[in-house]
A and B are shown apart, each in its own frame.
Chain A
Amino acid sequence: MKFLPLIFANLFRKKIRLTLTLNSFAVALFLFAFLAVVKDAFNRGSDVAGADRLVVINRVSIINTIPLKYAAQIQRIPGVKFVTHNNWFGGIYQEEKNFFPQFVIDPENQRQVFPELVVSDGQWNKFLKNRQGAIVGARTAQRFGLKIGDRIPLKTAIWGAGSWEFNIDGIYHGKRAEDDETQLWFQWDYFEERVPERMKGQVGWYVVKLDSPDYAVNVAKTIDETFANSPYETKTETESAFAASWVKQFGNIQFLILTIGSVVFFTLLLVTGNTMAISVRERTSELAVLKAIGFSDLTVLFFVLAESLFIALIGGLWGLALAYGLIPFMGAALNGLLPNLVLPPSILGLGLGVALLIGAASGLLPGLGAMRLRVVNALRRV
């Protein structure tokens, strides 16, 4: 466009100011991306949960157990494709702060119920043959530098005191970026062998894979009815409902994040709007000259808006690029405290849209002022 040289010349008029404003935009967009990612991480459980999976826990308390023998009954219910059981091991690797989740799994059904967590067949078969074998998620393996063949000890306090040793036979990967790759799995049989007598034959929870999500409501109801009035009553819900209520317990974190976000954007709008206003004010006589020459009011408005949109675009891209590069490192700093931080294209797109919106808004007021400028008043005279 033939007006570009004029617009660019105005932008680069004061380089320091341009740099500062660009960086202000970058900072705000960076923060936007960071907050969006953190909010996402808090909601993660809910997002990755399967619609065709149910979680069965003890109705009285989530920390109470359910008998292993319930599995057969659950399997017989129409609509149920696979059933697997788990226990939460909760062991300590070297020291408490190295926390990562460890599950006792039922190898027969694990991969069928959780197809998104992938292990190569070779590794899986080796694991099956090894009573003390373990499969570790890629992220935990990377965090502690664990390799296949390593032997790791885990200290437990829940299942009778002691140190249990495992051989790492395989590493699993999640199919999607959001899947949890921090878990450690080991054999149910080994677990049963080692726990005290009174704890044998008890399961922490069941995960049921359905033939189709349509069966969810009915199967859940049937399971709970089956075990009603037994010493171990169950509570069954879809995995997403289970995860969602877990997340809701974090309560106002989401609200907090939204509030911070708003504070930031309001501030940013103010800063850039003011910068635009200042730069327009400085150029009053020049704008008047343009109008005297014959540039229309709308054209002048367009110039001002183009400048602010350009700043928003470049600053926004810069900030989002920074986020893209730095967020993985920040995720590492929060290791174990939050699920991995993922920056999907949708957030990038949204961020850019927001930046442009703010650019337009902050250029609008000064732009309108420039548009309505009366040439007569603005032409300077000595």
Chain B
Amino acid sequence: MVRVDGRGEGASLVRVRGLDKKYQRGSEEIHVLQGLNLDVEAGDFVAFMGPSGSGKTTLLNLLGGIDLPTAGTITVAGDEITHLSGSKLTAWRARHVGFIFQMYNLIPVLTAFQNVELPLLLTRLSKAERRRHVEIALSVVGLADRMHHYPRQLSGGQEQRVSIARAIVADPTFLLCDEPTGDLDRKSADEIMALVEELVNQYGKTVLMVTHDPLVAARAHTILHLDKGVLVEGVRAGQDVLAGGGA
């Protein structure tokens, strides 16, 4: 159950209270998040929507520990990450977060296999064990037969699937997606979203996703809008589309 009023008591996987984020642009100070609250439970699939510049990516970055808030707390699986030091935060991120970016961000000089293996290099698994995990991850995304291809030999959709495999291979606590279909054509986008739904429904993954595409957002269980620095519950997907909002 997802809440944005800051009054969730139960076993939330992700708990955010009073999140503030300010940054400088030139001479102005932008107060992009203002006292944001969020509760997400394990297995939830949440989409964040909002106009450009509303801070969706900022929120995702904060949740993923690649940025620090100006004020407020973020607790994930019981760990309060807002006060972790640099190297501890990095270690936490390696263990708990799987990122899926719009630009896939695969390393071009590595094969699909090697790209997916990257997060495992941070663990103590042996070479054989790593191989096993990679093969599983790649077969989940349906690319087991392309293991040794380089990114330039893959289509956009395939690259994104490799990227997803990389995100799940170390079995992270939750997946953070930033416009995962932004660069894809409609057909590939559908395939990707089907995969993400499978991860949630079949494998019980928790997914937090930022998107501006209402059709993509519709796949999520819950849609939240970022408005004036806080999250507001969206109306059910269908009505959003009819209302023409959320773009």
Residues of A within 8 A of B (CB): 2-3, 5-6, 9-10, 12-13, 285-286, 289-298, 375-376, 379-382
Docked Cα-Cα span, A296 to B166, in Å, equals 17
- Residue B8 lies at the interface, judged by CB distance under 8 Å to chain A: no
- Residue B136 lies at the interface, judged by CB distance under 8 Å to chain A: no
Contact A296 B90 (CB under 8 A): yes
Known: A292-B93, A294-B94, A382-B182. A10 touches B86 (CB 8 A): no
Task: For B88, give the chain A residue with the smallest CB separation.
Answer: A296
Docked Cα-Cα span, A9 to B113, in Å, equals 13
Contact of A10 among B67, B101, B109, B121 (CB under 8 A): B109
Docked Cα-Cα span, A9 to B109, in Å, equals 6
Docked Cα-Cα span, A3 to B117, in Å, equals 11
Docked Cα-Cα span, A78 to B47, in Å, equals 103
Contact B110 A294 (CB under 8 A): no
- Residue B99 lies at the interface, judged by CB distance under 8 Å to chain A: yes
A12 contacts across to B, CB distance below 8 A = 109
Contact A294 B95 (CB under 8 A): yes
- Residue B215 lies at the interface, judged by CB distance under 8 Å to chain A: no
| Most chain B CB within a 10 A radius of its CB, from A2, A10, A285 | A2
Shortest beta-carbon distance, A284 to chain B, in Å?
A: 11
- Give 11 new A-B contacts, CB below 8 A, not counting A297-B90, A380-B105: A2-B127, A289-B107, A292-B66, A293-B122, A293-B166, A294-B91, A294-B122, A296-B90, A381-B57, A382-B182, A382-B183
B25-77 at interface with A (beta carbon < 8 Å)? 57, 61, 64, 66-67
Docked Cα-Cα span, A376 to B21, in Å, equals 13
Residues of B within 8 A of A (CB): 57, 61, 64, 66-67, 86-87, 90-91, 93-95, 97, 99, 101-103, 105, 107-110, 114, 118-119, 121-122, 127, 166, 182-183
Shortest beta-carbon distance, A273 to chain B, in Å?
A: 22
Contact A295 B90 (CB under 8 A): yes
Q: How many A-B residue pairs have CB under 8 A?
A: 76
Contact A286 B105 (CB under 8 A): yes
Known: A294-B91, A294-B93, A297-B86. A285 touches B105 (CB 8 A): yes
Docked Cα-Cα span, A380 to B178, in Å, equals 11
Contact A3 B121 (CB under 8 A): yes
Docked Cα-Cα span, A62 to B122, in Å, equals 75
Docked Cα-Cα span, A13 to B127, in Å, equals 24
Task: For A298, give the chain B residue with the smallest CB separation.
Answer: B87
Interface of A, helix, strand, loop or mixed by DSSP: helix
Contact B110 A6 (CB under 8 A): yes
Task: For B101, give the chain A residue with the smallest CB separation.
Answer: A379
Task: For A9, give the chain B residue with the smallest CB separation.
Answer: B109
Task: For B172, give the chain A residue with the smallest CB separation.
Answer: A294
Docked Cα-Cα span, A144 to B75, in Å, equals 87
Docked Cα-Cα span, A295 to B170, in Å, equals 13
Interchain Cβ contacts under 8 Å between A and B, 8 examples = A12-B109, A13-B109, A293-B94, A293-B118, A294-B94, A297-B86, A379-B105, A380-B105
B97 contacts across to A, CB distance below 8 A = 294
Contact B102 A381 (CB under 8 A): yes
Contact A382 B102 (CB under 8 A): yes
Task: For B66, give the chain A residue with the smallest CB separation.
Answer: A375
Shortest beta-carbon distance, A300 to chain B, in Å?
A: 10
B119 contacts across to A, CB distance below 8 A = 293-294
| Most chain B CB within a 10 A radius of its CB, from A289, A291, A375, A382 | A289
Task: For A286, give the chain B residue with the smallest CB separation.
Answer: B107
B166 contacts across to A, CB distance below 8 A = 293
A376 contacts across to B, CB distance below 8 A = 61, 66-67
Contact B121 A289 (CB under 8 A): no
Docked Cα-Cα span, A289 to B93, in Å, equals 12
Docked Cα-Cα span, A380 to B61, in Å, equals 13
Shortest beta-carbon distance, B52 to chain A, in Å?
A: 11
Shortest beta-carbon distance, A113 to chain B, in Å?
A: 66
Contact A291 B90 (CB under 8 A): yes
Docked Cα-Cα span, A296 to B66, in Å, equals 12
B87 contacts across to A, CB distance below 8 A = 296-298
Docked Cα-Cα span, A73 to B121, in Å, equals 82
B127 contacts across to A, CB distance below 8 A = 2
Docked Cα-Cα span, A381 to B94, in Å, equals 22
B103 contacts across to A, CB distance below 8 A = 285, 380-382
Known: A10-B109, A293-B119, A296-B87. A5 touches B114 (CB 8 A): yes
Shortest beta-carbon distance, A375 to chain B, in Å?
A: 4
Task: For A12, give the chain B residue with the smallest CB separation.
Answer: B109
Shortest beta-carbon distance, B98 to chain A, in Å?
A: 9
Shortest beta-carbon distance, B126 to chain A, in Å?
A: 9
Task: For B183, give the chain A residue with the smallest CB separation.
Answer: A382
B86 contacts across to A, CB distance below 8 A = 297
Known: A292-B64, A379-B101. A9 touches B93 (CB 8 A): no
Q: Rank and list the top 3 A-B pairs by shortest CB-CB distance, nearest first.
A: A294-B94, A9-B109, A289-B105
A297 contacts across to B, CB distance below 8 A = 86-87, 90
Task: For A379, give the chain B residue with the smallest CB separation.
Answer: B101
A375 contacts across to B, CB distance below 8 A = 66-67
B114 contacts across to A, CB distance below 8 A = 5-6, 9
Task: For A6, give the chain B residue with the smallest CB separation.
Answer: B110
B94 contacts across to A, CB distance below 8 A = 293-295
